Chain A
């Protein structure tokens, strides 16, 4: 019995040595650092006047337009994506493509809805396709890029409408064909400059083809547009 207690005592003594003594200071900080910066930012944008918010957003959209018109290898479009620009372009294009048939009774509505649906569902399908092929950019970044690259085609639509105001014969058709083809090529080139980097190198063609088809369909809709008398 006494031997057992003798054996036990060193054991308990060892255990007491293991516990942390009060004179050793415990260092480190386990508190989660407060990100008070974000809270301040949100409060400040909530309190500013609406004009400032709108102007800031418009400036961002305009900056991205410039990036599309001069497609360099920059990541501004991808880093802070937004969908205001694509919405603006889509609505402008749909409005301009409206009323483009000889039978104006029943084709006013579907034209707008058609363009809208083509643009957004086409973008969604291309995005899903590029993600399934192993792309690294996110869903909304891809939507943003595809939407912004419709800008050259919208400009071509404006030019076509102006040309059609003048004449509607063979010469105007050739001018329109040239303008639309150039802007279609520009759109495809601009979007591949942003999208193709995110794909594995040997599959770029697989991603570029749907984009080509998408802008081809939009370009075709612009080219075959003829205003009602």
Chain B
């Protein structure tokens, strides 16, 4: 195994390299540090990637050393300084490129891996339907923690449905958005509410020591939007104010009660329960109120009737809907105004 003279350096060098590799492999992979195991990554490829990279680097270092030794140690064939640097330079550049590519693909596999989200989408249609119906049924047992499904398919589909319904409402109410687009506003509102509200309530839950995870909070609030979708779908098409208020109380109230019951069952202490449930109820009901009135078809008649003829009309541009619908709306609004005035 020792270098036998200067006859065939290459063979002994390659044998030596092979030995070195075995030694390095043995020392590198003998112990796996359990501390570094990451739950979220499927195969702790950070560890594997590091070990692999270390092994590759050792191999490349020895290969480079072998190459340089070949160049310098070859009998009678002296390539000259230029040939030496050219080959070395190319090899170094190649290794740098390989290392960079490895790093990039490692980072990509780590962060852009959608398989991280895969377990949250593992549902059957029957389960989604059952959860939609259950989101309107408040359960009375608050003695022990109620089960909350941790899935993201239902909530996401509900948020997109809400976006579609909101678009419909904005178009029929003749809303003109100045700085931005209709679509952007709708998506921003709905996703902003879902994510922002969930984060805020999760933060309160952290303060009040409630037993609920972020995923469960997202899921709970997302399914609570089912009531919103139903109410808005009905009231964007049938413009009766009293109907909206009844639906707001009944359907909004039911879904709020369900979410509140789940939270109460997972919190101890009167004050924390009050804080969290009060905030959740307020956000939920006020959001529905906001969605209805911000994009509601405003007819100039309502302002004239309620506040007097001196108020200038709002700068809204009406779209050309069939005259039938607007006649119905006008009649409704005047009757409601008359009721309000009489009280």
B317 and A132 form a contact (CB under 8 A): no
Q: CB of A102 within 8 A of chain B?
A: yes
B121 and A133 form a contact (CB under 8 A): yes
Q: CB of B148 within 8 A of chain A?
A: no
* Residue in contact with A101 in the complex, picked from B157, B160, B176, CB distance below 8 Å: B176
Q: CB of B78 within 8 A of chain A?
A: no
B320 and A133 form a contact (CB under 8 A): no
A209 and B124 form a contact (CB under 8 A): no
Q: Which chain A residue shows the least CB distance to B183?
A: A114
B123 and A226 form a contact (CB under 8 A): no
Q: CB of B118 within 8 A of chain A?
A: yes
The secondary structure that dominates the B interface is helix
Q: CB of B161 within 8 A of chain A?
A: yes
Q: Which chain A residue shows the least CB distance to B168?
A: A220
Question: CB-CB contacts of A119-160 with B at 8 A, as 1s and 0s?
Answer: 000000100110111000000000000000000000000000
Taking CB atoms, residues of chain A closer than 8 Å to B125 are 202-203, 205-206
Taking CB atoms, residues of chain B closer than 8 Å to A226 are 319-320
Q: Complex formed: what's the CA distance from A220 to B170 in Å?
A: 12
Taking CB atoms, residues of chain B closer than 8 Å to A217 are 164, 167
Q: Which of A171-211 contact B (CB under 8 A)?
A: 173, 202-203, 205-206, 209-210
Q: CB of B200 within 8 A of chain A?
A: no
> Inter-chain contact count A-B, CB under 8 Å?
65
Q: Complex formed: what's the CA distance from A168 to B117 in Å?
A: 48
Contact size class for A?
20 to 34
Q: Complex formed: what's the CA distance from A224 to B164 in Å?
A: 13
Q: For the complex formed, measure the closest distance between the CB of A205 and the CB atoms of chain B, giving whole angstroms.
A: 4
A117 and B183 form a contact (CB under 8 A): yes
Q: CB of A2 within 8 A of chain B?
A: no
Q: For the complex formed, measure the closest distance between the CB of B215 and the CB atoms of chain A, giving whole angstroms.
A: 15
Taking CB atoms, residues of chain B closer than 8 Å to A202 are 124-125
Q: CB of B178 within 8 A of chain A?
A: yes
Q: For the complex formed, measure the closest distance between the CB of B305 and the CB atoms of chain A, giving whole angstroms.
A: 25
Q: Complex formed: what's the CA distance from A106 to B177 in Å?
A: 9
Known contacts A110-B181, A206-B128, A213-B161; is-contact A132 B320 (Cβ 8 Å): no
Q: For the complex formed, measure the closest distance between the CB of B55 and the CB atoms of chain A, giving whole angstroms.
A: 25
Q: For the complex formed, measure the closest distance between the CB of B18 and the CB atoms of chain A, giving whole angstroms.
A: 20
Known contacts A117-B183, A210-B157; is-contact A102 B319 (Cβ 8 Å): yes
Taking CB atoms, residues of chain B closer than 8 Å to A101 are 176, 317
Q: For the complex formed, measure the closest distance between the CB of A168 and the CB atoms of chain B, giving whole angstroms.
A: 7
* Residue in contact with A114 in the complex, picked from B114, B123, B181, CB distance below 8 Å: B181
Question: CB-CB contacts of A95-122 with B at 8 A, as 1s and 0s?
Answer: 0000001110011001001100110000
Q: Complex formed: what's the CA distance from A203 to B182 in Å?
A: 32
Q: Complex formed: what's the CA distance from A129 to B125 in Å?
A: 14
Q: For the complex formed, measure the closest distance between the CB of A198 and the CB atoms of chain B, giving whole angstroms.
A: 15
B157 and A209 form a contact (CB under 8 A): yes
Q: For the complex formed, measure the closest distance between the CB of A181 and the CB atoms of chain B, giving whole angstroms.
A: 15
Q: CB of B269 within 8 A of chain A?
A: no
A132 and B114 form a contact (CB under 8 A): yes
Known contacts A113-B181, A114-B183; is-contact A103 B176 (Cβ 8 Å): yes
Known contacts A102-B317, A132-B121; is-contact A110 B160 (Cβ 8 Å): no
23 CB-based A-B contacts, threshold 8 Å: A102-B317, A103-B317, A113-B181, A114-B184, A117-B183, A129-B156, A132-B117, A132-B118, A168-B320, A173-B322, A202-B124, A202-B125, A206-B124, A206-B125, A206-B128, A206-B153, A210-B160, A213-B160, A213-B164, A217-B167, A224-B171, A226-B319, A226-B320
The interface of chain A, by Cβ under 8 A from chain B, is: 101-103, 106-107, 110, 113-114, 117-118, 125, 128-129, 131-133, 168-170, 173, 202-203, 205-206, 209-210, 213, 216-217, 220, 224, 226
Closest 7 CB pairs of A and B: A132-B121, A110-B181, A205-B125, A114-B181, A224-B171, A114-B183, A170-B322
Q: A103-B176, A217-B167 are in contact. List 6 more A-B contacts (CB 8 A).
A: A107-B176, A117-B183, A206-B153, A220-B164, A224-B319, A226-B320
